Chain A
């Protein structure tokens, strides 16, 4: 995987360990839990979009499928949250597998439309299947995770749980990127037909990476459900799918680190911009616009280039 990545992972782990000591305020910690949850999704999206070159405008649906499977099973059927999380992964992964084969035959705008439609259908199901999901008003009292007899109740607990999983997912993803499979994914991005003729089973790898990214989103969804303990359909709609893509684009598509930076920026920025009241969305939009105009490769690549120039 390369010394640089191992070093970066260690630094990240150190920062994660140390941050709660410096942040007395639990509000910041709460925001960081969300940054972690969203990072899980954007890391998968960066594998799918940045490395393999396949767009998805439906990943909020996979996030929602994980959240709802976890929430419904643990609340209405008394399944333990950990098992519910696993069930969510299998349900979401299965659904992703079923739609991947036909959808990934499409390219560009058509794939975007197909995934968008899928996301919308799932959103409708969340709203309409009220006996299970509580419809538009949702349902609450979702149990929290337990480790043995220890109940994870505070933001600090969830902070450590979520970020441990982020490190695991990062490690898994970096291993894939620096392997024969990762090379195959990038060759698909560069020229799908050429890759196929050179001996890469392009359809298989596109399906695999799509399912993997859906599984990451599902994991994030389960963490979300057992952290917030309340679910309604709003966070899982089309709007959030777009925000996820924006996170990946702003951070830098072709890098899992960039995907995390994007998730952090687009989660933290709106919190700070609240001070500007009615103008917040205007400033938010302008900042994104400026980043994409002057750092089209994303923040991560832009920062790296600046550091290199300084030397």
Chain B
């Protein structure tokens, strides 16, 4: 298995706070990898560094062997990385279908002059965008909502819409930021099924999640982060039995009280 994503010595400081502190890990093609850790461990920051919402302080991010830290977000999408967001970020006043069609943007090319002339090939491309996007909508089961404004969808539907929009960019790597957050138990189970189905179409998945049930069920490998550092990595079973992980999540037995009084 070759790594599709390689993170080396990644570091991010916000003023005096070190959010990500020398993180190394790899994601192999076609695997589902999860990053877990307590609040503030730096999970979402790693996602934001990969999709270049903010630049890393130091370290490198390689995607398919190419360094991508200097690229603009839209170029990273073109290279084949897409994502969803922890607090859903749909285009609220656009229709459900249009949301997905925006995802198709980076795989199509008609520019402003072609649009003005309304050329035959522009119309043909627009039709292809429409059809592909509709296909992605049926994949997540939202095709009947295609003409609704995205703001009219339920929270879970908006999350699914983000899936469809990300899939429309034809990613090789999909970053899922807390796909189950805010969902009920059956809804979260449904999400787990979607994660499997996305992997089946050949997409590698890196996810951040607090719902341990979901993480342990779907992931091939888990990385545990604490205070910006990787403290454990392995299969779900290995990680669950790792002492450092248990200490972070439950507190160390002897020093628990001491830590409490300090903080």
**Chain A residues in contact with chain B, CB under 8 A?**
1, 172, 175-176, 179-184, 186-187, 190-191, 193-202, 208, 212
Report Cα–Cα, A175/B110, bound state, in Å.
12
Q: Check A196–B102 contact: CB distance below 8 A.
A: no
Partner of A198, one of B72, B105, B122: B105
Do A194 and B103 contact each other (CB < 8 Å), given the known contacts A175-B115, A180-B125, A183-B98? Answer: no
- Determine if B73 and A183 form an interchain contact, defined as CB atoms under 8 angstroms apart: no
Whether B78 lies near A199 (C-beta < 8 A) is: yes
* Chain A residues whose C-beta falls within 8 Å of the C-beta of B92 in the assembled complex: 190
Tally B residues with Cβ within 8 Å of A. 39
B112: contacting residue among A187, A194, A208, CB under 8 A: A208
Given A180-B108, A181-B110, A193-B53, the answer on whether A201 and B74 have CB atoms closer than 8 Å is: yes
A182 CB contacts on chain B under 8 angstroms: 115
B12 interfacial by beta-carbon distance below 8 Å: no
Q: How far is the CA of A199 from the CA of B165 in the complex (A)?
A: 11
Q: Decide: A181 near B118, CB < 8 A? Known: A193-B53, A198-B105, A198-B165.
A: no
Interface class of chain B by DSSP: helix
| Nearest B residue (CB) for A186 | B94
| Given contact pairs A194-B85, A201-B74, A183 touches B102 in the complex (Cβ within 8 A) | yes
Which chain B residues lie closer than 8 Å to A194 at the CB level?
85, 89, 91
**A176 and B85 within 8 A (CB):** no
Interface membership of B231, Cβ < 8 A: no
A304, chain B: closest CB distance, angstroms:
16
B59-103 at interface with A (beta carbon < 8 Å):
72-74, 76-78, 82-83, 85, 89, 91-94, 98, 101-103
With A and B bound together, what is the CA distance between A175 and B113 in angstroms? 10
B51 touches A183 (CB 8 A): no
Report the nearest A residue to B122, measured CB to CB. A179
Sample 16 A-B pairs with CB under 8 A, ordered by A number: A176-B112, A176-B115, A176-B116, A179-B115, A180-B115, A180-B129, A186-B94, A186-B98, A190-B92, A197-B73, A197-B83, A198-B103, A198-B165, A199-B74, A199-B82, A200-B105
- Of A187, A193, A201, which one neighbours B94 at CB under 8 angstroms? A187
A190 touching B115 in the complex, CB below 8 Å, given contacts A180-B105, A180-B108: no
CB of B229 within 8 A of chain A? no
Question: Which residues of B are found within 8 Å of A186, using beta-carbon distances?
Answer: 91, 93-94, 98
The answer to whether residues A198 and B102 also contact, given A180-B129, A190-B93, A191-B91 and a CB cut-off of 8 A, is yes
- Residues of B102-134 whose CB lies within 8 A of A: 102-103, 105-108, 110-112, 114-118, 122, 125-126, 129
Which residues does chain B contribute within 8 Å of A208, judged by CB atoms? 112
- B123 (CB) vs chain A CBs: closest residue: A179
Q: Considering the chains assembled together, what is the distance between the CA atoms of A200 and B82 in angstroms?
A: 12
Query: Which residues of chain B are near A198, meaning CB under 8 Å?
Result: 74, 77, 82, 102-103, 105-106, 165-166, 169
In contact, B74 and A175 (Cβ under 8 angstroms) = no
The CA-CA distance from A256 to B96 in the complex, in Å, is 23
Query: With contacts A172-B116, A187-B91, A195-B102 known, is A200 near B74, CB below 8 A?
Result: yes
